[in-house]
Structure 1
Amino acid sequence: MAGRSKRFGSIALGLACLAVAGGVAWSLFANRPDSFAGQDTPGNTTASIEPAGNTGPSGLPLPRFVSLKAEKVNVRRGPSSDHPVAWVFQRKGMPVEIVAEFENWRRIRDSEGEEGWILQSMLTGKRTAIVAPWRGHKTTPMHSAPNKDASLSAMLTGGVMGEVGHCDGKWCKLSTGGYEGFVEQAGLWGVYPGELVD
């Protein structure tokens, strides 16, 4: 009977040590700067962050496209300057999609699908677009008029960025690298299919 009690005591002690080791490992992982574990996520801190219907707390539509106002813009892991910088955009005018709002912070998505938080003051309503980033280096035609039969103004490589003049739902007038013309709206990232842009 005494032998059995010693064996159960050893098993209990072993399980307790395992639990402590697991707790230590978890606390180390949770405090890593590149981990979200242990941090409040915006969705956990307030319900106003997630898009409610099609309008954000600002009264503007969600989602919506905007562009970067500055040459260098920090993208953070959460909606405050206390959150670490996830990456830095280094191109003024780059289009991004606002998918959520929290106070003066905007959760954005880039053309590669990455998401992070940017101060609202670093964004502008000026519309820009990226030519078919999903097509790699394949070219997209820019026409002189909003028609596939119109003469070519240029052939644009996937990933080229341009300024959007207007879109009629099928075609967008785009200016880039000294060229101006019309590109099929479905071939641009920075405008929604069928969206009218003035």
Structure 2
Amino acid sequence: MKTEKEKMLAGENYDCGSPELLERWHLAKRLQTEYNNTPTTDAVRLSALLDLLLGSRGENVWIAAPFFVDYGENIHLGRNVEINMNCVFLDCNRITIGDYSGIGPGVHIYTVSHPTDPSERRSGNSTFWNSVTAPVVIGDNVWIGGRSVILPGVTIGNGTTIGAGSVVTHSIPANVVAAGNPCRIIRHL
């Protein structure tokens, strides 16, 4: 029988109120609070906190505080990644960001969603809604403009730029400029 965490990462309906998931969620909240309150000049402490918070990261990763996550451990960053302030990563499934990619301020990346039918949202006696997930993959040398929202299951190809304020509802290929709500290709590079 699968644990709720295994179901979550497999994209199956899961109970986010399971003790295992809540324990990591609370730890992630503590670590993100410490990270967000650490002086930007304390590189050693910031690096140590990221090592505890994130699943993996390459060298030269910069995340400007404040930064918010669900679990943190499902976030995997390549080398030379810059994430600007006020980003929210709901990492109930894997979020992968490739080398030399940049995430603008206020970007939200969601790997979790809930049923649109209200009668399917409730999970027995749990106070939490039924949830399903899908990973988000952002390729190498991608720029995500500020205040964009990336939805579950989206892949953004290498070398692509997503314009500020976009809502990315479906995968976007490599080497394009895309923008809008919903996000669509503006031009090929």
Q: Which has the larger radius of gyration?
A: 1
TM range (shorter): under 0.3
Using structure 2 for the length normalisation, give the TM-score.
0.23
TM-score computed with the length of structure 1 as normaliser: 0.23
